[in-house]
Amino acid sequence: MFEVFKKELLELIRDIKTLFFVLALPMLIFPVIMALVGFLGSQAALKAEQKVHTYYLVNEQYGQAYAERVFYHKSFKKYAGDEQFTSIEQLKQAVREGVIDVGIYLENDPEKTLAQGKQANWQVVFNDAQSINFIYDRLRSLANEFSDSLREQTLVSLGIEKTKQQAILQPIQISKVDTADKRENLGEKLGAFIPYLLIPLVLMGASYPAIDLGAGEKERGTLETLLLTPVTRTQLVLGKFLTVLLSSLACATVTVLSMAVWVSVAIGFVELDTVKSAFSSVTGADFLLIFALLVPIAAIFSSLVLAISIYARTFKEAQNYMAPLSMGVFLPILISVMPNMELSAKTALIPVTNVALAIKEIIKGTVDYGLLSMIVIASVALAALLLAFCVRWFSKEEVLFR
């Protein structure tokens, strides 16, 4: 078995392409993704922040003070064309055609409606399909300022002092006291994202060598030579399995180390004290726990991809089988980010989902070590079952010589 393992390992080391996917890519993927997401997000936000929108205001006489606030706001410029719009439908059409960016329809005068004990109805017409859009928030903020001034004037006219107005308008003030610390808050939001990177990379680390060790051997015609050696088929499978497992674990190790390094680097550059204090509490022991969870997952993937590779006739056919498997891995990860999905005695038995949930709990700092042990036992049992199936699969002539 170990002779087969040494042979396959030497061939794996000589394969530059596989080494790149197993070692180099995990080292690069975290800084590239972090830098790319950060750069694109900041650029999109900056562009949206600085964009000046063309507006058209209908019934300006109903809110002169508001119209002045919008006119002098740095994010808006008044429509200078010759077209006239008098209704909501006309404003909608103008926005769709790109004539204006936003239409503001003042249906009635707030001073008059306030005297009647009613609310004025103003509408903002714009395209809200953009991912980052400040139009509505800014116009609403300006309207709220105008509304506050009207309310204050009305209450003063009724004999209510400014100092008492807030207490009358809101007799009870409720404040939130959050029992979750900063790490738990950020871990809940970002912890679910990390398994999306870690687990598929572990699968990738097993897939590339497995394809070559099974379907590749068939295509090159070297599998028959291996079968003629004085080594049992169980030993052959175990030797190949250890090679694939080592490759997957190497990918997992590099991935976790890369994540730890780049998180520490990011902490040094991030200016937000909240982010710093949260991630600085993620210790080396937490990263070791994440790695320990990835080991049985690596064994599960190694057994599975090796069985698929043994079944495939050619290298290309094995690659075709790996594609839906890669997509299938995302399904249990997706389940882990569903609302109210938490690590429990039930979810600890769901393959892949349990590890994704456990990684999130580790990042949050709220992991239950009893459930963690259950996950490891369940994952190891599944890996052993799949390995036994792989050995049985390799013993069938109709599979080896399809």
Q: Identify the pLDDT of residue 200.
A: 84
- In Å, what is the CA distance from 251 to each residue of 195, 258, 283? 14, 10, 21
Which residue(s) pair with 123 in the sheet?
105
Q: Identify the pLDDT of residue 253.
A: 79
pLDDT in tens, the chain (402 residues): 656 666 666 666 666 666 666 666 666 665 666 667 667 767 777 777 788 899 999 999 999 999 999 999 999 999 998 899 999 999 999 999 989 999 999 999 998 888 888 889 999 999 887 655 688 889 999 999 999 888 888 888 888 887 788 888 888 888 877 666 667 776 676 677 778 778 888 888 888 788 888 888 777 777 777 777 777 878 888 888 888 888 888 877 777 777 667 666 655 555 545 555 545 566 778 888 888 888 899 999 988 998 888 888 888 888 888 878 888 888 888 888 887 788 888 888 889 899 989 988 888 888 888 999 999 999 999 999 998 888 888 777 776 666
Q: Identify the pLDDT of residue 58.
A: 94
Q: Identify the pLDDT of residue 90.
A: 94
Q: Identify the pLDDT of residue 92.
A: 93
For the chain, list the domains and their CATH numbers: 2-31+182-400 (no CATH), 51-167 (3.40.190)
For residue 251, give every residue at least 6 positions away whose Cβ sits within 8 Å of its Cβ, in sequence order, or none: 22, 23, 26, 201, 202, 204, 205, 206
Q: Identify the pLDDT of residue 61.
A: 92
Q: Identify the pLDDT of residue 122.
A: 93
Q: Identify the pLDDT of residue 7.
A: 60
pTM: 0.62
